[in-house]
Amino acid sequence: MPKLSLNPPPWLRTILIAGAIGLGAVLILFPAWLPDDTNAPIEDRAVEVMQSALLAFASALFFATAPHAGPFRAVYRSLGFLSVTLLIAEIEGAINEIIDPLRHEYLVVPILIWAGLTLLRRRRETLHFIGFASRHPASGFALSAIILVYAFAPAFGSRAFWKISLGATYDPEIPSICRAYLELLACYFFLLAAIGFCLPLVRRRYAMFTEP
């Protein structure tokens, strides 16, 4: 009697993964259905919390993966700290209040310098990781996050764009709402990129870096 396999065929696994990613992209928009509190800015509500949570989870993944990365431990630890800088930039308002009269830049700049120097000292491993990352599908999610933050968010978060598009029906909250949700989607893609870079390495150690 043939044994039943719990592993789906590759084509079905691909469809399931794509469906899960698409479903996640829809589910992260759930704050749009929450009751609106007009007394609080959009970035101080559920969207801001979700952005911070996604970035925190991504940084935690990099730090958790670092001990399993062998000679690439410093690279993954640096990626974790770079993710922390993104988190600090996201919650800069709260950070500025805590360390007043200093600014969040006093935390971000030293972390960036430390991470940059670490990657420079580990040039061989860094270049090897870049080569690995360039062939990995997770790079597409990372690139999508960058495009969303630096291209789509400024464009669709612009007041001029919506004033021209909507004319007399323009609502001043629309630009900030669009920018916030595009940044939330970018944080989700960044988390997917972190999962893509970390999960295979945890499963197979750092042997994948030596594959042709």
In this predicted structure, what is the pLDDT of residue 202?
A: 59
| Summary mean pLDDT of the chain | 79
Structure token digits, residue 190: 């960044």
Comparing 78-92, 126-140, 190-204, the range with the smallest average pLDDT is 190-204
pLDDT for 70 beyond 60: yes
Q: How far apart are CA 21 and CA 3, in angstroms?
A: 30
pLDDT for 196 beyond 70: yes
Three-state SS for 32-62 is HHCCCCCCCCHHHCHHHHHHHHHHHHHHHHH
Nearest alpha carbon to residue 149 among 111, 109, 116, 190: 190
Choice between 5 and 139, residue whose per-residue pLDDT is larger:
139
In this predicted structure, what is the pLDDT of residue 36?
A: 55
DSSP, collapsed to helix, strand or coil, labels residue 102 as coil
